[in-house]
Amino acid sequence: MDHQPVTAAELFDAVGQDYEEAFGRPPAVDEGVRLVLDRVPPHAKILDIGSGTGRPVAEDLAAAGHDVLGVDVSAAMVEIARGQVPRARFVHADIREWESQDASWDAVCAFFPFLQMTRDEVVAVLAKIARWLTPGGVLALVTVPMDVEDLVVPFLGHTVRLTSFATPDLINRVEQAGLTVLDTRSTAFSPDREGQPDEEHLLVLAQA
Ligand SMILES: C[S@@+](CC[C@H](N)C(=O)[O-])C[C@H]1O[C@@H](n2cnc3c(N)ncnc32)[C@H](O)[C@@H]1O
Confidence of residue 3 (pLDDT cuts 50, 70, 90): confident
Segment 151-176 shows an average pLDDT of 96
Q: How much distance in Å is there from the Cα of 43 to the middle of ligand 1?
A: 24
Beta carbon of 112 within 6 Å of any ligand 1 atom? yes
Are 53 and 80 spatial neighbours (Cβ–Cβ below 8 Å)? yes
CB 36 within 8 A of CB 43: no
In this structure, the residue with its CA closest to atom 16 of ligand 1 is 113
- pLDDT tens readout for residues 29-60: 999 999 999 999 999 999 999 999 999 999 99
What is the average pLDDT across 149-170? 96
Ligand 1 pocket: which of 6, 7, 12 to mutate (most atoms within 8 A of CB): 12
**Res. 1: pLDDT tops 60:** no
Residue 109 lies in a domain: yes
pLDDT at residue number 196: 86
CA of 50 to the centre of ligand 1 (A): 3
Cβ distance 168 to 181 under 8 Å?
A: no
Domain count, the chain: 1
Does the beta carbon of 95 lie inside 6 Å of ligand 1?
Answer: yes
User: Cα(205)–Cα(108) distance, rounded to whole angstroms?
Assistant: 10
Residue 9 pLDDT? 97
- 68 in a structural domain: yes
Instruction: Establish whether residue 8 lines the binding site of ligand 1, counting it when its CB lies within 6 angstroms of any ligand atom.
Output: yes
**Calpha distance 208→197 (Å, rounded):** 34
How does residue 194 score in pLDDT terms, banded at 50, 70 and 90?
Answer: confident
Over residues 97-108, the pLDDT tens digits come to 999 999 999 999
The fraction of the chain above a pLDDT of 90, given in percent, is 93
pLDDT band at 2 (very low <50, low <70, confident <90, very high): low
For residue 3, tell me if it sits in a domain. no
The answer to whether the CB of 116 is under 6 A from ligand 1 is yes
2 in a structural domain: no
Sequence length of the chain is 208
pTM, full prediction: 0.97
Range of the domain at 115: 8-207
Q: Which of 132, 109, 143 has the alpha carbon at shortest distance from 33?
A: 109
Residue 174 near residue 141 (C-beta atoms within 8 A): yes
CATH number of 150's domain: 3.40.50.150
Asked whether residue 114 is assigned to any structural domain, the reply reads: yes
Kindly tell me if the per-residue pLDDT of 137 is higher than 70: yes
C-alpha of residue 161 to centroid of ligand 1, in Å: 14
